[in-house]
Structure 1
């Protein structure tokens, strides 16, 4: 009897132990299921929060494409991030915070700053983002958005009310940019070849098809950077180069190395020395109207190869007198020299207002500032002979400046447009001093024959500047050049001369004040009918016009906004 009672209790105890284990097991499984639901919910909310951050960063970065002051762009970016967050179901408030560890409390922090993949000091975590920068040197090209939110725990476990989630995104965008130049006369092969030969001091052995290939070819700043072997666009712009090195860089980046010897063969060493002394670099021929490191936004815009070569040759000859007598048919004893006071610059940049530039716009191109000295002589083949005519002239050629005032972007390159405003200064021609370096301040002897001397008072003639607005597609060119302007200007000066005639007789001297400008004008007209067309062509190839300008839009780049972190 005792044995049966003991067996019954053992079985009952076993059944009770199994029940307890089953309860514990079921509770564990239930708890694991609930924890899994919570973990899944947290991961889902994290992905949702990351999506909010991504969309807000892209929306905010798009505001940087509208070039404006840094303060205005930051304000727009903050408003765009807030609107994007609300649209995507995030109710937290957005605030500006460029701290190193933002997102400590629920909400959205927005920071407009600088993203530069080549900035090693800001490479922590792969961000390459810097919230602090010098606004006088740089403009923001990226927006960092950090979104923080506390997610409630679905199963109320002891130890906390919820889990704080954090998502971060960096959107990069730069305004669309255009590359353009003013005063391009590169389409005329003969004039362009003659102009380059004068500037380089050698014989250019290019064919017309070779030159046309250069005119039709573009290179980007990024291609030039890779060819130069430097890390950043800024390093490329500031790397000092001789003219030979500059030509090798540009032609190499354009896969035109075979033309290097045809252009530079026989060039005097002094040209390279002048280029180094003038501080030739890529930055000297480009007015990059975007601030670093948003220079990267201009890295993919096309730059015309022929234009770069012509501009560099003019930079190398800055301040030097270029003798044009061999290129322009002149009378014996006559002189013709050109001096580049300030070389031209191509422009690459966005549409941006300026409070300091006279035109009111940040991105501007300009032609050369050039002085031209002309001394026309007739009847003075040998030293000491009397001169039938001596007409010393100094021409201050007009400069033109063109500002980028508008851009229209499109997916198709052919549908993009750049709006340019061009203003030219007044051109001036005057009777020159003996060395042709400045306008004469005293009477000038025009004729010094045996018994006859003709003297003219100082005189000058001007052509007023012009202004025009043009809208061009990439690769398009417009011209408002009228031929023979220099000849017309000189004739107008000669026609209005106040002339004194002194006749030396045997016993006396006769002094007569006469209006003989018509005679001088007729003589200069005959001379310039031969000299004018060739000289005008040379000046056009150098990008120089008297009162008008040629415009050329090389490329328009509309970069897309993207996430970089």
Structure 2
């Protein structure tokens, strides 16, 4: 049969099909409308809850709420929720407030950990029980095990409190320029302190001296390079990290187009002790209060100063020292050794409200220069002819008394130890009434210099003991008696100086310090004795100790009778010694120590202060 003649295909059998399709379409449209209305209602309720949670967490954090004692965090959060039309009246509405800490995982996600004793972050959780949906209600009428008609919506917010005032100090961390002469000294000095050799050009040293590195960016990259927990800067600073890794990370963070800096860092990486994995802790260079926000680390450090600090820490932890040949200093007849006793503390940041005068307090904002010790041996062979003439004359007189004069054996050399203790500065006060009038005060002192001249034990000197014992006298002439001869102890000529040069101390007042993250400004100087080099030279103008006889015997009378002859010797020795030692002080002070960030005549301190670094902020 033809399909057109089939009963099912008759025209009267198709009547009503459009109406059925229309009914189904209307039912589907109604269902979609119900879904849209329910979804929109739940979405708006969820959004309202999130807004309530956000505002409650922000208010509790900004008012510095706590979860112990009066539990003000909960009080502040509840008051905020009530003002935003979320009143906790029954079990359908809940609000929970918790205090704790915030950490960032290796995946970069923040995690809140409940700890009622901490207020690093405050969490607010609000919930509201509402009807699930109209569609669900209709479905429940025909379901033997109906889904509950209500649903609990929940919103969570975590906020950190407004940051406290943040202060930062930096100290003597840069050089102006480096010429070819200084480049040779720096290669010898830094290479010796590292136990190897360096060959960095003057352009390379200048590149380091003129480059800055952002501390926050550097630490973030370092955490990645050593697989440390991201954001846990306190732990990172306390970790033993190889100097090689520290230098490699610095090269990564610094601009790659600065070839001079990259070449200089490559030169440092070539030193054998660095390549072998010498480790240090960054906390020996950077002093940060525990729990500081990351914004406190958003500071710029001079690259030369930072790398200088790496070298100082590495040297202070080892028995190595630098030996500087006479030709590098432009002097003859001497050799100089340099040892870091204590490394510098380049930068310190923290809450000035917590700062104390105790330098060992972890809350102290304290910086210092390095404690550096130099030992120079001066060749006094030019004194031998004079000593021979005087001893011959004295022996003629003393032969009748069974006594003689013994001269110092060759090679005759004199040891000079110059120790510059740390210059330091620490925050003592601040004012944050407004950004236009903010101030920061820091108690500051210049380096205390200790000068020792005589015979110095080199093994004791090369150790990192806090202070050297007094030197032994270098005896030039010694009167002996008896048979066999023994030291008489009643007369002779020797060299001995044990002199401290007092440090200068004052309070530096910084007006309107720059914000944290900017170049430290202002930089103030505490100037000590401008003639400190001259004063040290004057201390050596008469270094000869003249021993006179103390016994009343005939030998004592004879020794006293030749005083004029001995005085002549003293004058000769003084002129020779002063002529040799005097020119030595300027190179040591002006070249060696300054290249290690130490200037014993003055100290330069830079300051930063942010009174309101940030308001309370939502973090989760």
TM-score of the superposed pair, with normalisation by structure 2: 0.63
Return the alpha-carbon distance in structure 1 between the equivalents of residues 527 and 129 of structure 2. Answer: 68
What is the CA distance between 1:303 and its match in structure 2? 3.3
C-alpha displacement of 1:410: 10
Alignment partner of 1:211 out of 196, 206, 211? 206
From the superposition, tell whether residues 363 and 200 of structure 1 become closer, same or farther in structure 2 (CA, over 3 Å). same
Partner residue, 1:308: 306
Would the aligned equivalents of 2:213 and 2:300 in 1 still touch at CA under 8 Å?
yes
Q: Distance in 1 between matches of 2:77 and 2:244?
A: 50
Answer yes or no: is the 8 Å Cα contact 2:537–2:585 preserved in 1. no
Distance in 1 between residues matched to 2:322 and 2:444, nearest whole Å: 27
* Corresponding position of 1:328: 329
Counterparts in 2 of 1:298-447, with a 5 A limit?
Answer: 298=296, 300-318=298-316, 319=318, 320-326=320-326, 327-332=328-333, 334-352=334-352, 353=354, 357-358=358-359, 361-380=363-382, 384-385=409-410, 390=414, 392-403=416-427, 406=430, 419=440, 421-424=442-445, 426-431=448-453, 433-435=455-457, 437=461, 439=468, 441=470, 444-445=473-474, 447=476
Which 10-residue stretch deviates more, 376-385 or 389-398?
376-385
- How has the CA–CA distance of structure 1 residues 218 and 392 changed in structure 2, closer, same or farther, with 3 Å as cutoff? closer
Q: 1:41, 1:479 → 2: CA distance? A: 66
Give the distance between the partners of 2:175 and 2:376, measured in 1 at CA. Answer: 24
Structure 1 distance, partners of 2:157, 2:114, is 14
1:542 and 2:596 aligned: yes
Structure 1 residue 551: Cα displacement: 1.7
8 Å contact kept, 2:217–2:253? no
Q: Does structure 1 residue 271 correspond to structure 2 residue 273? A: yes
More deviation, 203-212/50-59: 203-212
Q: Closer, same or farther in 2 for the Cα pair 1:151/1:548, shift >3 Å?
A: farther
Task: Measure, in 1, the Cα distance between the counterparts of 2:266 and 2:619.
Answer: 43
Q: CA deviation at 1:311?
A: 0.9
Q: Cα distance 1:491–1:311, how it changes in 2: closer, same or farther (>3 A)?
A: same
Instruction: Give secondary structure in 1 for the equivalent of 2:597.
Output: coil
1:233 and 1:53, CA in 2 relative to 1: closer, same or farther beyond 3 A? closer
**Equivalent residues of 1:54, 1:563 under 8 A apart:** yes
Question: Please, which of 108, 130, 133 is the counterpart of residue 113 of structure 2?
Answer: 130
For the aligned residue pairs, the C-alpha RMSD in angstroms reads 5.3
CA distance in structure 2 between the aligned counterparts of 1:110 and 1:117, rounded to whole angstroms:
21
Q: Given that residues 178 and 553 in structure 1 are in contact (C-alpha distance below 8 angstroms), is that contact kept between their aligned partners in structure 2?
A: yes
User: Separation in 2 of the partners of 1:71 and 1:454?
Assistant: 76
- Tell me the residue number matched to 1:226: 221
Which residue of structure 1 aligns with residue 506 of structure 2? 467
Q: Is the 8 A contact 1:205 1:262 kept in 2?
A: yes
Q: 1:564 aligned to 2:598?
A: no
CA separation of 1:528 and 1:151: change in aligned 2, threshold 3 A:
farther
Instruction: Write the distance in 2 (CA, Å) between the matches of 1:75 and 1:354.
Output: 27
Which residue does 1:454 correspond to in 2? 493
Q: Note if 1:200 corresponds to 2:200.
A: no
CA apart distance, 1:130:
0.9
Structure 1 unpaired stretches of 5+ = 1-28, 94-102
- Contact 2:169 2:608 (C-alpha < 8 Å) held by counterparts: yes
Distance 1:521 1:470 in 2: 45
Alpha carbons of structure 1 residues 250 and 483: separation in structure 2 relative to 1, 3 Å: farther
> How many Å apart are 1:374 and its aligned residue?
3.5
| 2:20 matched residue in structure 1 | none
**Counterpart residue number, 2:582:** 528
Cα gap change, 1:370/1:82 in structure 2, threshold over 3 Å: closer, same or farther? Answer: farther
How far apart in 2 are the matches of 1:152 and 1:514?
A: 111
Question: Within 1, Cα distance between the matches of 2:579 and 2:323?
Answer: 22
SS at match of 2:311: helix
* Residues 220-253 of structure 1: CA deviation (Å, up to 9, x unaligned): 3334533653352547546654434322221221
**Whole-angstrom CA distance in 2 between matches of 1:104 and 1:418:** 52
**1:98-156 Cα distance to aligned partner (Å, 9 max, x none):** xxxxx988564332322223167xx9xx76211139x8xxx753221223567899x9x
Q: Which TM-score applies when normalising by structure 1?
A: 0.68
Which sits farther off after the overlay, 103-112 or 307-316? 103-112
Separation in 2 of the partners of 1:493 and 1:254?
47
Give CA-to-partner distance per residue, 1:339-394, whole Å, 9 cap, x none.
1112113335331515794376433332212223234444459995585x846334
Per-residue deviation, 1:168: 1.7
Change (3 A) 1:496 1:311: same
Per-residue CA deviations over 1:286-336 (Å, capped at 9, x if unaligned) read 223233xx564445443332221111121222243222344434440x342
Asked whether the equivalents of residues 188 and 323 of structure 2 are also in contact (C-alpha less than 8 Å), the reply is no
Q: Distance in 1 between matches of 2:506 and 2:236?
A: 34
Instruction: State the Cα distance separating 1:535 from its structure 2 match.
Output: 2.7
SS in 1 for 2:451: strand
Q: CA deviation at 1:444?
A: 1.1
Aligned to 1:184: 173
Kindly state the Cα deviation for residue 280 of structure 1 after the two structures are TM-superposed.
2.0
* Distance in structure 2 (CA, Å) of the matches to 1:127 and 1:242: 29
Moved more, 515-524 or 183-192: 515-524
CA distance in 2, matches of 1:141, 1:501: 69
Structure 2 residues without counterparts, runs of 5 or longer: 1-29, 138-146, 385-407, 462-466, 481-490, 550-554
Could you tell me how far apart the structure 2 residues matched to 1:73 and 1:284 are? Answer: 38
**1:169 correspondence with 2:143:** no
Match of residue 103 from structure 2? 116
Per-residue deviation, 1:77: 5.3
